[in-house]
Structure 1
Amino acid sequence: MNPESTVRAAVGTSLLEDFSLEMTGKDVPKLEEARDSIPEGTRINITFLGNENLEMRLEAARAVKRLGFVPVPHISARRLGSRADFEQFLAGLRDDGTSGNVFVVGGDPAQPEGPYSDSLSLIGTGLLQEYGVRHVGISGYPEGHPEIDGGALWSALQDKHTALVTQPLEGCVITQFGFDVDPVLAWVEQVRGRGIALPIRIGVPGPAGVRRLMSYAARFGVGTSASVVKKYGFSLSNLMGTAGPDRFLRDLATAYDPARHGDLKIHFYTFGGLKATSDWAARFRKDSLA
């Protein structure tokens, strides 16, 4: 098999096998529209936004399960007003049979709305497994975080890994999205060098408008230099255009070495475009295997 065919096969099988998607509580109609193009059993993360209420979050998890996918509800530590709020959410998920998989994150508020300041504090309560959680996703930031020191990010990742192993709970790391493969894989190697063997889902932006991509990138401190933007395949001068992750995934497949990087999968940030992303992934995987 020639090198180009090897890359296509890697993209089509290993990296795009068992990819995951992200949606909000308001995206249930969009999920129903996209259902036929999403593989059965796909993990679908459900964000925990400040403008959504408990019932909306629970209904989204129920819808994901009803449509044949695996719900992964997010739990935002700093948005929980009390331990009772935390338990109420977990109890609702348990009662609906949707508590098996969750993703814990600190969340956007600068000041906690209750007793939990970060995702480690949620893991440390012991409540997750008490309410039926078996698998916990945690965050990774290959290009850092605009408001958190790099050393603190590494300490937090290691502490969360230790907490999951100690509980014990299964887990994975889901990274923030990026446009440049090089810092992502360099970060993955550092993760492995620190003894963290959890599967890593590399965050990738699904096909979306350039303006929206740039807005999210600026918010999360993702590198968007002119060279990176050109490499990704869109123009800053054409903010009305759209871009897909084709180049990123091909570059990732070229550089991916399981011996060095371990278990990698793809996590798509859909920006509300569930059908566009799932249709794109199906076409791209088919073309890669052709």
Structure 2
Amino acid sequence: MANTTSPALLLEDYSIEMTGKDIPGLQEAAPFLPPGTRVNVTFLGNENLELRLAAAKAVRDGGFVPVPHISARRIADQAMLEEFLAALQGQGTVDSVFTVGGDPHTPEGPYADSLQIIQTGLLQKYGVTEVNISGYPEGHPDIAEDVLWAALTDKAAALTQQGLSGSIITQFSFDEDPVLAWIEKVRARGIDLPVRIGVPGPAGIKRLVTFASRFGVASSAGIAKKYGFSITNLLGTAGPDRFITNLAAKYDETLHGELHLHFYTFGGLKATSEWIRDFSEKQRLGRR
């Protein structure tokens, strides 16, 4: 039987995402973010080392916890990886990272996936103590399901073998049921890492539908059903209040283990962080 976790409790210790170019957005969002919030800094192909480092430093200087991404297939060689890690270490933003295979179909260097990054031993050499890895509750449009499960199992085992802590950060979803079912399968495989469930932050409905189609996580009709808007009218914005409320209602710690939320900021950092603050406050007031 599921417990009575409230949405407000599920929102504690959430994480949020930004790009290297979004330092102004972070500064706007800062008043709404709890001190110590984990802020992931993406590793995009159109951003360079300086942008990524500046963003990670801005996160730290704002009183938050930077989690820089490392995109394996975008790393040209070992020297590039070491340069990035050394620079992060030099500015005190290397403790926690997120490793992911990345978008390019063909690797730009020797690393085909994030497991190979973990297995280099270079992360520990430069002071990394926590490595976050990716999970795909609704699959990946370009990767077979058995390959995804093997990768997740191998990465979790590699972290244990190397004495690294970590968590699983999932792709965003609009439907709590496949997410929770997937987490139960993760636990059944003996993987007990905390899971940070990907949540699409508030954004324009058209934008949400576009991202869902791009990443293969939901149909337009599926999003409309879960979010309660008409598929014939995609004007306006939508937030994840139903998703989070339903997730909290069905969360059973004995089945699902430790869960947190990770917000993808499709509508912007400020809009997302302000929405989280307001939604959390409404939930707390409703419980009094």
- Smaller-chain TM-score range? over 0.9
2:49 is matched with 54
Residue-by-residue CA offset, 1:139-193 (whole Å, 9 max, x unaligned) = 0000000000000000000000000000010010000001111100000000000
1:10 aligns with 2:6: yes
Aligned ranges 1:248-267 → 2 under 5 Å: 248-267=243-262
Return the letter of the residue paired with 2:260. Answer: K
Name the SS for the 2:232 alignment partner: coil
Return the letter of the residue paired with 2:30. Answer: R
Aligned ranges 1:160-175 → 2 under 5 Å: 160-175=155-170
Aligned ranges 1:97-116 → 2 under 5 Å: 97-116=92-111
2:144 is matched with 149
Q: Distance in 2 between matches of 1:237 and 1:78?
A: 39
Q: Distance in 1 between matches of 2:50 and 2:267?
A: 20
Residue-by-residue CA offset, 1:3-54 (whole Å, 9 max, x unaligned) = 9xx86x61112x1000000000011001001101000000000000000000
Q: Distance in 2 between matches of 1:159 and 1:85?
A: 24
**Does the 8 A contact of 2:201 with 2:267 survive in 1?**
no
Stretch deviating more after TM superposition (125-134 or 264-273) = 264-273
Return the letter of the residue paired with 2:31. Answer: D
2:273 is matched with 278
Name the SS for the 1:73 alignment partner: strand
Residue-by-residue CA offset, 1:227-252 (whole Å, 9 max, x unaligned) = 44222233332223210000000100
1:187 is matched with 182
1:80 is matched with 75
Count of residue correspondences: 284
Quote the RMSD (CA, aligned, Å). 1.3
Sequence identity percentage: 62
1:269 aligns with 2:267: no
Q: Distance in 1 between matches of 2:257 and 2:50?
A: 38
Mind listing any 5+ residue stretches in structure 1 that lack a counterpart?
none
1:24 is matched with 19
2:172 to 159, 177, 186: 177
Runs of 4 or more, structure 1, over 3 Å off, are none
Return the letter of the residue paired with 2:6. Answer: A
1:69 aligns with 2:67: no
Return the letter of the residue paired with 1:265. Answer: H
Aligned ranges 1:35-46 → 2 under 5 Å: 35-46=30-41
Q: Distance in 1 between matches of 2:269 and 2:232?
A: 26
Q: Distance in 1 between matches of 2:45 and 2:231?
A: 31
TM-score, scaled to structure 2: 0.96
Q: Distance in 1 between matches of 2:58 and 2:176?
A: 34
| Offset of residue 215 of structure 1 | 1.3
Q: Distance in 2 between matches of 1:10 and 1:38?
A: 20
Return the letter of the residue paired with 1:254. Answer: A
Residue-by-residue CA offset, 1:251-283 (whole Å, 9 max, x unaligned) = 001100001000000000012511111111111
Q: Distance in 2 between matches of 1:182 and 1:246?
A: 15
Mind listing any 5+ residue stretches in structure 2 that lack a counterpart?
none
Name the SS for the 1:175 alignment partner: strand
1:118 is matched with 113
**Does the 8 A contact of 2:68 with 2:96 survive in 1?**
yes
Stretch deviating more after TM superposition (216-225 or 16-25) = 216-225
TM-score, scaled to structure 1: 0.95
Return the letter of the residue paired with 2:41. Answer: I
1:247 aligns with 2:242: yes
Q: Distance in 2 between matches of 1:234 and 1:131?
A: 48
2:28 is matched with 33
| Offset of residue 223 of structure 1 | 1.6
